[in-house]
Structure formats: C-alpha cells, structure tokens
Amino acid sequence: QSTIFSLIQPTGNIHLGNYLGAIRSWKELSESDSPGSKFIFGIADLHAITLPKDPQTLKRFRHEAIASLLASGLSPEKCTIFHQSAVPEHTELSWYFTCITSMGNLNRMTQWKSKAQQVQNSSIYDDRVMEATKAGVLCYPILQAADILIYRATHVPVGDDQSQHLELTRGIANTFNHTYKTKFFPIVKTLLTPSKKILSLRNPSKKMSKSDPDQNSCIYVTDSPEIVAKKIRKATTDSIQGPIYYAPEERPGVSNLINVISGLTGKSIDEVVADLHWVKDHKQFKDHVTELIVEEFRENREMYQRLTADISYLDEVCARGRDNAREIASANIAQVRKLIGMD
Ligand code: TYM
C-alpha cells in the first residue's frame, strides 16, 4: 500500500515552476485509479521561516498557498491537505533525526550552500558565512526527512531540485533503521516530475523562484491574462532569426519556453519543436506560449478569487487535513518513541 506525500513552501503564490514541477503531478497521481493509496499534500510553513518572515505576511501566505493548491485542482476529498505546523509530530521526529545525522552530510547539501550565501549576501561560502547563518537553514533537510517519514511515505513527487534532499531522507531512514535494529522506516522513492526545471523568465541561468526580486521572472497560477502576456513579452530570449529550436546552452530563454510548452501540453521536446514549424518570429512564439498558459490557468484564477474571499472554507479543509494527518503521525511517533526508549 503506497503513501504519496509532498509539501510546498508558502513563500508567496504558486508559480509555473511549482505547478509543472510538482502540483500538477500531485493532482494527476491523486486522480489516478490507485485503490488503497493515501495522498498527503501540504504547506511547509515551518520551512518557510528559515528565511525571516513578517508574521502578517506569513499568515496571508499560509492561506493563499492552500487556496492555490485547491485552485490548481487538488481535491480535499481525495487528498489530505494540511499545514505542516499543525502536526507537531513532524518537529518531534525531526529532533530524533537531528541526533543521528552528521554535520558532514548536511554540509554537502547544495541548497544549504546557496541559501547560506543568499542570507549573507555573499558570493563565497566560507567560515564567516557558517558563523552567521541560522541553524535552521542547515537543519532544513532533516525536517524535510521527518515530514516524509512521519507518514512512512513510500513515494514523494518533486521537481529535480529536491533530489538531493530525498537522497538524504533515504540515508536518515537507513541510519535510524540500522541504529534501532528495525525496518520501521521505508526507503522512499523519488517520483521525479516529467517537466524539466522551469527557469527564471528574465535570467534563464537560475530557476524560477518566488523569492526572486524581479517579479517579471515568475508567472503565478493566479496572474491575469494581461500580466501573463506582459511577463512573457518581457521574457529574455535571443536575437537568433529563423525557426525555433531547442538548445538549452545556446538558447536558454527560448529553450525554457519550449520546456514550459512541453510541461503544459505533455508533449516531448521534439514534438513541441515540430509543432512550432509555423512560427516565424519571437513575437508569434511568445503569443503562443501566453495563450497556452492563460488557457491552462483560466479556471484556477477564478476559483482562487472565490476561495480567498471565504477563509472559513480554507480553514475547514485544513482542519480536516490536520485531523487525518495527525491520526497517522501520532500512531507512528508512538512507535518511534518505543523504538528509541522514550515511551
Ligand atoms: P519548494 O516550495 O521550493 O517547491 C515545491 C515543489 O516545486 C518544485 N519546484 C520546481 N519545479 C520546476 N521548476 C522550478 N523552477 C521549481 N521550483 C520549485 C520543487 O521541486 C518542489 O517539488 N523543501 C521543499 C518543501 C518540502 C518538501 C518536504 C517537499 C518540505 N518538506 C517533504 C517534499 C517532501 C521546497 O522548498 O519546495
């Protein structure tokens, strides 16, 4: 029996990268015919505060993130939808894992290195960065392992930027099982989403990210058609004339937009490029991308507006999700306590 689990941070609205890299596959998995499988998806609000947040903003982001999940088509009837912080068993398990995880393993995480640099505004990674960076940024992947393993999840659908964290999760499960002579924790499988990593529209050498100060770099699932058109118009491409072709090194901007089309349509890169034979210039190409995005998100936007106007429904969905999640988490943490002699 499988348990499919994943979380997303509430650092602002859900963007095209999150949607293609994660949410769409969460939705497809939960809609597939898989009797007996459990689907648990939610908001990693505890992870979000590793970079400081104003309390009112965090509160708003937490609600908006749930509304975005529902507006993206995730059904609370099929999935448990909840806030990580509402299930304290995550943090308890995280502490047990912290005590069996080496600093060396954490230090190797590439996301830690780049976040530590971001926090310090530094282009180098050295002892000074280490000195000033908060421990939460370093321990972040331990909490992620606890999120997954508190449900003894078997499959985690994520974009490929999360692969290294899932590798660490497998390592932690192995270490725990070995240390306490048990097979309690499964060795989780990464379900890599078929979509390629979606890059910033303005600077296609980095990934599309909510925390990017240039908001034209990022398309949100709730952007109006006019905003989508504006952002795509401003997207960095190149001055190569003639037919559109895929070459991530030579044409990163154009190739990123091809990846977007491929993610949205489910077609392979080759098929997408073949379909673009009628395109004469970048304007036509960009208009086509805009149309596809606007069409995909038409209903999302309307639903999002309805949902954020009535917080009580969101609260009700979260409360139901929390109760479901806690039922599993509390039974599992009781077993863990027994295994380590804390009962
Ligand atoms: P987060 O919030 O950064 O991203 C959520 C999901 O979206 C995917 N993603 C992308 N995919 C393609 N292109 C992009 N530009 C892009 N940006 C983000 C991510 O791969 C991810 O699947 N640490 C996690 C949250 C987390 C978690 C967990 C995930 C906490 N606990 C347990 C899985 C299991 C994170 O920061 O994701």
pLDDT tens-digit series, residues 285-325: 999 999 999 999 998 888 999 998 988 999 999 999 999 99
Is 122 a residue whose pLDDT tops 70? no
CB atoms within 10 A of CB 130: 12
Six token digits for residue 166: 């899932």
Residues 329-340: what's their mean pLDDT?
98
Question: Which ligand 1 atom is nearest residue 199's CA?
Answer: 15
Is 271 a residue whose pLDDT tops 90? yes
> Which residues, 6+ apart, have CB-to-CB distance to 159 below 8 Å?
17, 18, 21, 22, 192, 193, 195, 197
3-197+311-340 and 215-305 in the same fold: no
Is 43 a residue whose pLDDT tops 70? yes
CB 14 within 8 A of CB 220: yes
What does the pLDDT read at residue 124? 58
Mutate to test the pocket of ligand 1, among 4, 14, 18, 151 (most ligand atoms within 8 A of CB): 18
Residues 37-61: what's their mean pLDDT?
94
Q: 215-305, what's its fold?
A: Tyrosyl-Transfer RNA Synthetase (1.10.240)
The residue ranges of every structural domain in the chain are 3-197+311-340, 215-305
Q: Which amino acid is at 189?
A: K
pLDDT tens-digit series, residues 208-228: 987 788 989 999 988 999 999
H or E stretch covering 4: strand 3-8
Residues at CB less than 6 angstroms from ligand 1 = 6-9, 17-18, 20-22, 44, 47, 144, 147-148, 156, 158-159, 161-162, 197-198, 207-208
Ligand 1 center to 18 CA (angstroms): 7
For residues 325 and 150, what is the distance between their CA atoms, to the nearest angstrom?
10
Residue recorded with tokens 């034979």: 277
For residues 9 and 146, what is the distance between their CA atoms, to the nearest angstrom?
15
Residues 61-90: what's their mean pLDDT?
95
Q: In what order do the strands lie in the sheet with 189-192?
A: 80-83, 38-43, 3-8, 155-158, 189-192
Q: Is 242 exposed, middle or buried (0-12, 13-18, 19+ CB in 10 A)?
A: exposed
For residues 176 and 124, what is the distance between their CA atoms, to the nearest angstrom?
34
Instruction: Place 119 in a pLDDT band, splitting at 50, 70 and 90.
Output: low
Query: What DSSP state is assigned to residue 196?
Result: P
What residue owns the CA closest to ligand 1's atom 36? 9
Residues 100-104: what's their mean pLDDT?
95
Is 36 a residue whose pLDDT tops 80? yes
Ligand 1 center to 51 CA (angstroms): 15
**Over pLDDT 90: what percentage of the chain?**
78
> Which residues, 6+ apart, have CB-to-CB distance to 162 below 8 Å?
156, 190
Question: Which ligand 1 atom is nearest residue 208's CA?
Answer: 15
Q: Could you tell me if the ipTM is greater than 0.95?
A: yes
Instruction: Place 79 in a pLDDT band, splitting at 50, 70 and 90.
Output: very high
What residue owns the CA closest to ligand 1's atom 27? 7
Mutate to test the pocket of ligand 1, among 3, 5, 8 (most ligand atoms within 8 A of CB): 8
Nearest to 268 by CA among 195, 165, 336, 193: 195
For residues 173 and 179, what is the distance between their CA atoms, to the nearest angstrom?
10
For residues 221 and 73, what is the distance between their CA atoms, to the nearest angstrom?
11
Question: Which ligand 1 atom is nearest residue 153's CA?
Answer: 34
Is 125 a residue whose pLDDT tops 80? no
Q: 3-197+311-340, what's its fold?
A: Rossmann fold (3.40.50)
CB 68 within 8 A of CB 16: no
Is 130 a residue whose pLDDT tops 80? no
CB atoms within 10 A of CB 41: 25
Ligand 1 center to 285 CA (angstroms): 28
CB 151 within 8 A of CB 186: no
| pTM score, whole prediction | 0.92
Mutate to test the pocket of ligand 1, among 49, 118, 139, 162 (most ligand atoms within 8 A of CB): 162
Query: What DSSP state is assigned to residue 188?
Result: P
